[in-house]
Amino acid sequence: MTARIETPAQALADPACRRALVELLYQLADDDLALGHRDSEWMGLAPHIEEDVAFASIAQDEVGHANAYYALLVDLGEAESADALAYGRSPGEWRCAVLLERPNGPGHYLKDPQFDWGYTIARHYLYDLFEMVRLEALMESAYLPLAQLAAKVRREERYHLLHMETWVKRLARHSSVSRARLQAGLEKAWVDLYGLFSLGPEGPAMAALGLLPGGRDRLWQTWRERAQALFAEAGLPWPGDPSPVMLDGRAGQHSADLEALLATMTEVYRLDPAARW
Amino acid sequence: MAEERLEYHIYEVFAQESQMAPAVHQFSLLASSPDMALILAKENFLRRQKAWSVWVVRRDHIHRTGPEEAEMFDRLDKSYRETEGYRYLKEKWRRYKHEPLTTQTMT
Amino acid sequence: MPDDYRQYLIRLIAMHGISEIMGALPEKEWVPRAPTLHRKLAIMAKVQDELGHGQLLLRVAEDLVAPLGMNREDLLNGLFKGTIHFHNVFHMPAPTWADAGIIGWLVDGAAIITQGMLVQGSYAPYCRALERIIAEESFHIQHGESICIALAEGTKAQRQMLQEALNRWWEPLLFFFGPPPKSELTKHQDLGLMYRLRNRTNEELRQRFFHKYVPRIQALGLTIPDPNLRLDKETNTWHYTQPDWSKFKAILRNEGPMSKARLILRHSAWEQNRWVREVLSTRAAVAV
């Protein structure tokens, strides 16, 4: 039985707990912000106008969730503001999985973007299912403010998952072209997939302290079971268990893609981080 | 020659109060064809209220989310896209000795 | 419906819808670069609304062209071929964050003034779309004001960024409402007046814009880049330097500063994702 932690002060009182909790919150926030940012690069370019509008809500939700997780970090004394955490850290301080920092496709959002809807849907589905499984675990977290937030975030994530599942099924079943595009996207995402389930060096403590009940094993098993069910329903072959990745984003190891992402995201902020924007 | 049996369907009835009004759901009725549904809708549901147009849609042509999906319509705070999130601007403009513009005052 | 009425409506509403879609492009350049999480969320919501307005208006236009055997694809192709124009204000560059602010504050302000007239027009489906659009514009003007006031009250560099953006956008804002009456470019205005789709001239709308915005721009300590701009109190008319209308005509030929680049961006995204629209618009072929 793990102890319930009701306030930031209680979490800060135990250094081991503080360390694990802070790492967990960075993972949650950075995952959502990295993907929300990538989603936002689709704005105005999506394949269908109604989809452009719907996808823009998903982008906002992800950024909104990141904002809420950063606020919990601010409560734990990590920074003065969520913005300082979102905009003020170097790539080595980021804890997102590498999968989420990858671009939407070749090109740049401002110049000659050749974004890949097959990869976009594949990556988003794999992550949204992971997020749903993680949120379900977090709703039982020993850290009460996080458990409460997870319950709220989960409601918006239900729509994301429904949205992505609908697309996956549609692409998988429609034609050989769309199926090939989706499968190529899944293959590409699969290369980075293992890193999603890494919880970094503090992973065992997150599970042991009940901050993320069940830890990595629960996430992986639940995720695989549900993903396999959808793959079967969509008639997609199961690509097999993912191989370990070279870069563990949870340990601060990132690709050049995160550097590029942050260079874009912080371009205006860096003009004057102390200014009010 | 055997008569062809007409099947009754459930029609959902919507009505617009005026040309600019949204179509609002009224109730449902049983009818064997859309034209029949239209004439029945008027006297069944619009005996008192004002109407400009009535719509009938076969219920099996309507796709809807179920109660278990209802929670996906819940939203976290979205004040960044609501006018309430920008109330402070009123005070700002007052300091510049101007009333804030609204879509009403501008049109 | 008289044929020239339908043709006028198609021209008006297709252009309006296409302009919302194209109008998302200058602002969306700043979505990934917005300087705070709040701004990032707000500008995403703002650009999303613009795309949503495009969706509403294109739906109305699609219903109008349907009897002619046309659909959304044809309207977009009209944009790419240059037979349907997007609004002159969206051919301009937006090189700084302050440009995103000025667009939200002043370009949207100008748009609300125009839409406030159009919503009283004679074609109800268009008016119903406009009512939804105007309801969302309340947030848009506040979003733009909020960015501009923050910059105006910020550091010297921020104020300068805002002033430079205003300098860039002043002429486009004069172009926004179109040329003054009795110009060769105004024949469509007259038809609009006849069919009760508009009840104000370009110049009346521009004057209204001056009345609403000039005092507020000046109150923020900004300088409007026109030394001749002044209010004649007796006639309640603003005098201003005429912009270079030859530039306006160039924009109508898609020869504005960003015309080609934005068309290429929209066109290439549309073509690259054609396969996705096929998935949406045709029946499944793969049996599972």
Q: What is the pLDDT along chain C (288 residues), one digit of tens a residue?
A: 888 899 999 999 999 999 999 999 999 999 999 999 999 999 999 999 999 999 999 999 999 999 999 999 999 999 999 999 999 999 999 999 999 999 999 999 999 999 999 999 999 999 999 999 999 998 999 999 999 999 999 999 999 999 999 999 999 999 999 998 766 555 666 778 788 888 889 999 999 999 999 999 999 999 999 999 999 999 999 999 999 999 999 999 999 999 999 999 999 999 999 999 988 877 766 554
What is the separation, in whole angstroms, between the first and last Cα of chain B? 66
What single letter denotes the amino acid at residue B103?
T
Residue B85: closest CA among C41, C20, C2, C48: C41
Closest-approach residue (CA) in chain B for C115: B107
| Sole residue written with tokens 């960044």 | B80
Whole-number Å distance between alpha carbons of A261 and A163: 25
- Measured in angstroms, the CA of B89 and the nearest CA of chain C are apart by 7
Contact yes or no for C139 and B81 at CB 8 A: yes
Pick the CATH number of C3-281 from 2.40.30.60, 1.10.287.980, 1.20.1260.10, 3.40.1710.10: 1.20.1260.10
* In chain A, domain spans: 8-271
Closest-approach residue (CA) in chain B for A61: B76
Residue C80: closest CA among C27, C18, C26, C11: C18
| CA quadruple C237, C241, C245, C251: dihedral, nearest 10 | -90
Which of A24-33, A238-247, C155-164 bottoms out in mean pLDDT, i.e. has the lowest?
A238-247
Closest-approach residue (CA) in chain B for A156: B72
Please give the ipTM for the structure prediction.
0.96
Residue A167 tokens, joined: 């697309």
pLDDT of residue C196: 86
* In chain B, domain spans: 9-62+79-106
pLDDT of residue C184: 55
Higher pLDDT, B49 or A82: A82
DSSP tag of A5 = B
The Cα-based distances of C264 to A110, C257, C271 in angstroms read 11, 13, 10
A186 pLDDT band, cuts 50/70/90, is: very high
What average pLDDT does the segment B38-65 reach?
92
pLDDT of residue B2: 60
What single letter denotes the amino acid at residue C197?
L
Pick the CATH number of B9-62+79-106 from 1.10.340.30, 3.10.180.10, 3.40.50.2020, 3.10.20.520: 3.10.20.520
DSSP reduced 3-state for B30: strand
pLDDT of residue C59: 96
- Chain B residues in contact with C145 (beta carbon < 8 A): 86, 89, 100
Contact yes or no for B103 and C216 at CB 8 A: no
pLDDT in tens, B56-86: 999 999 999 988 888 888 889 999 999 999 9
User: Among residues of chain B, what percentage have pLDDT more than 70?
Assistant: 96
- Measured in angstroms, the CA of C245 and the nearest CA of chain B are apart by 26
Interface test with B, best of C50, C113, C142, C211 (most B CBs within 10 A): C142
pLDDT of residue A62: 98
Whole-number Å distance between alpha carbons of C268 and C280: 19
Contact yes or no for C112 and B97 at CB 8 A: no
Cβ-Cβ contacts under 8 Å between A and B: the total is 24
pLDDT of residue A220: 98
- Chain A residues in contact with C97 (beta carbon < 8 A): 268, 277
pLDDT in tens, A94-114: 999 999 999 999 999 998 999
pLDDT in tens, B13-24: 999 999 999 999
Taking domain A8-271, whether its CATH number is 3.40.50.970 is answered by no
Chain B contact for C124, CB < 8 A? yes
**C131, C145, C219: residue with CB nearest B89:** C145
B7 pLDDT band, cuts 50/70/90, is: confident
For chain B, which residues lie within 8 Å of any Cβ of chain A, measuring from their own Cβ?
Answer: 69, 71-72, 74-78
